[in-house]
Structure 1
Amino acid sequence: MGLHEGLSGTRHGTDPTVKSIASGDISVTRTYSERSVLDAAAIPRAEAFGVTVQLRGFDSQRLWRGGELVYEGGRPKASLAITDLRDQWRCHQLSPFDNVRFDIPFARLRAFAEEVGRSEYVALSCFGGRIDPVMHGLAQALLPSLDNPEEANPLFLEQINLAMLAHLSQTYGGLHFPVDKKGTLAPWQERLATEFLAAHFNKPFSTGDLASRCELSRSYFNKAFKESFGRTPSKWLTDYRVARAKELLLQDLSIAEVAIDCGFADQSHMTRVFTGLTGETPARFRRKNRPFGLGSDPLGV
């Protein structure tokens, strides 16, 4: 992955304590306190996902998104929250707490997917409060490195990052890695197929032509593709288009323009497909997720 360890150090204050370390473009920050914090803390905005793991449960917190209070309450130990850091978040801890936050650039997550032969348009589902023992274990494994960053092993940090990216992309990003390789596409066929589909996501093409490029019959290609990716080429393409639509809906484009740019017949077509996959209309998704937009799902950062 070309990751390297970098140190941003430990900041000692009366309350709270913050320790950080960086490995390539992924940063890890532990923040903890045995008391409540006097003031709300702003989380820096970035083109990244924030993945926060609670090392211990806490009783009370207030969380704001774009100036709106979206959550008030506690979270249990090992609970996980995923947030889009393009939004402005502020968090006020009203009880003792201890958490680790991974800041993962969008580009790093997508580069990881390509490196493992999965060229899907990967984005993590944002939510709060789910118990995740795997991320809790990875966060705990990093505590010695956070305590003594000058002694941290760069190879160890890289391996933790790889394990984290694999877990997050499969569990919350929808990537599929088959356990049994029988009946799947060869690695070169997987890469060719996903690169072709991504390049033609808004253009007409023939599945038969794609199968021929992979030197397979159409029927065998469809079966092997599903074994490799856990979905048919058509479903893969639909998921990809919806993921692209989610990105474009956060920009200053009309919903009709987003629909055409993402290969849908028109706005109504995109609305039907988008709503079927996400459970909400493109307009509602835009209202909820644009920076400083109205409404949000409660997240425990």
Structure 2
Amino acid sequence: MSAPAPAPVAARWQTMWCPRSTRLRRIGRGSWRSPCSGRSSWRASGAASCTILRDCACGLWNGLVRGGKRRFMSTVFDYLSASRAQCLERRALGQGRSLVIWRNRRDRIDYDEPQDHTVSLYLSGGHGSRRLDRGGAKGYPGALCVMPEGERSEWEINADFRFAHLYLPDEELRYFYARTHDRSPGRLCVAGRTFDRDPGLIAFMRALIGADDPLAREQALTGVMGVLVASGPDGAQRGGLTPAVSRRVCAALRDQMEHPPGLSDLARLAGLSPWHFQRMFRVTHGVTPHGWLERARTARAQEMIAQGKPLAEIAAACGYSSQSHLTRAFSRATGLTPARYRAAISP
């Protein structure tokens, strides 16, 4: 009797994790899809199998070197991109935040400890959507859900519906919390919600979806984040810089923005070693010293743009090496170029 034929390469590796989504998915007889390679079909043989294995091996390595709780974590956007959901519109809001309009029908999605916080608002339909891990609770038009980072959930969709997702990186939300409440970001605990009817949060989400200028968008986004950081219970505060040291360090960064002090200089101001200072700064503010400085630079640039200052002057005052450097950093932070931002806020 001849030995059984070995399993196809892709079949033997189908449980390998990919960098941007879940596992390899079968999309037809003999076909496999790798979410990290886009939505193309790959045959389980030859060069295509090698491509799948290469992409997934890169994903495994990326997951291992990250370490900690973020190992193998995918965002809700990644999970939906690998499902039957259709992305209708996607808007970048700066600092890793984004608003996406989706459409889906007849699907089953399991979010396994996703990265980033997600605020969901059902725009039309929704009666066919159920959250299986919450006793099969059913959705409805206008339903609101909040899925905190790391919260597992299982969903079943049996009818066509449209919904909006707002994705907020954990670091950005903690930074906002620290600035808003002048408290350690480690105390923030975002509360999950399933098919809620919070009129304030729903109003901010609808305003964000309909916003057609930067100011309205920024106001609505601030409103959403304000509700999220105000509604969750506080956790225990652990360490961090004292208020006096924190003010002294931030003043040094703000006043010397054109030529900011180095990490050793800041640590000396705080009376700590560079390693310990960087760790305590993040506990206090939710971001690294460089992350705090970049946000302060963006805020100053916005103020100077509103005052009508030339971009070259703004770049120099905010510590950017050139006008093009300002444009790249500003676009990354706000989703708009300085020129578009100036045009949008002009009366």
Greater C-alpha radius of gyration = 2
TM surpasses 0.5: no
**Structure number having the greater helix percentage:** 2
Relative contact order higher in (CA < 8 Å, ≥ 6 apart): 1
What is the TM-score with the length of structure 2 in the denominator?
Answer: 0.35
Pick the structure with more strand per residue: 1
